[in-house]
Amino acid sequence: MILVAYRHGLRVAELVNLKWSQVDLSQGILHVRRLKSGINSTHPISGVVSRALRKVQRMYPETDFVFVSERKSPLTDHTFRKILTRADSESGLNMSIHPHMLRHSTGFKLANDRVDTRTIQLYLGHSNIQNTVIYTQLASGAFHDLWHD
């Protein structure tokens, strides 16, 4: 769950509501349905995410939702927060991680990799680019290699 949320910049509600009908493992595509008037998009699924999703699918082959409880009901945002808290405590970072930090981490990672602002906007589903520029304003490597002496 953490990997999928981070790699695709999903909000917690988008993550817990993710359905297998949005995932095409044979084509390596994830159809992202954005909330909060966001822009829906289609993301490529990387090999590591594909393998993780296939493992989840083998565990619960007959569910509509990707992430489910042992009772095969969709996980709640509260449950995902517990998962993050546990991961935080096991990592030893003690950062009080919350789900939206994963989405922000995606934006900052893409900005630091010098992905253009418009691409980041569409990837995260921001309908207003002002919500995207916060990532590019703080990108540490933005000015590197502007001049070649």
**Does 126 qualify as catalytic in the annotation?**
yes
57-63: which pairs have CB atoms within 8 A and are 24 or more residues apart?
57/20, 57/25, 63/20
- Give whole-number Cα distances, 108 to 27, 37, 99, 122, in Å: 28, 22, 15, 14
**Does 109 qualify as catalytic in the annotation?**
no
Given 72, 86, 100, 118, which residue is catalytic? Answer: 100
Given 7, 8, 123, 126, which residue is catalytic? Answer: 126
**Does 104 qualify as catalytic in the annotation?**
no
Given 19, 36, 54, 72, which residue is catalytic? Answer: 36
Cα–Cα distance, 20 to 4 (Å, whole number): 13
**Does 100 qualify as catalytic in the annotation?**
yes
Given 7, 8, 103, 123, which residue is catalytic? Answer: 103
**Does 148 qualify as catalytic in the annotation?**
no
**Does 135 qualify as catalytic in the annotation?**
yes
Given 7, 8, 11, 123, which residue is catalytic? Answer: 11
With 0-12 CB in 10 A as exposed, 13-18 as middle and 19+ as buried, what is 52?
Answer: middle
Cα–Cα distance, 8 to 65 (Å, whole number): 17
Given 7, 8, 123, 135, which residue is catalytic? Answer: 135
Q: Supply the residues annotated as catalytic.
A: 11, 36, 100, 103, 126, 135
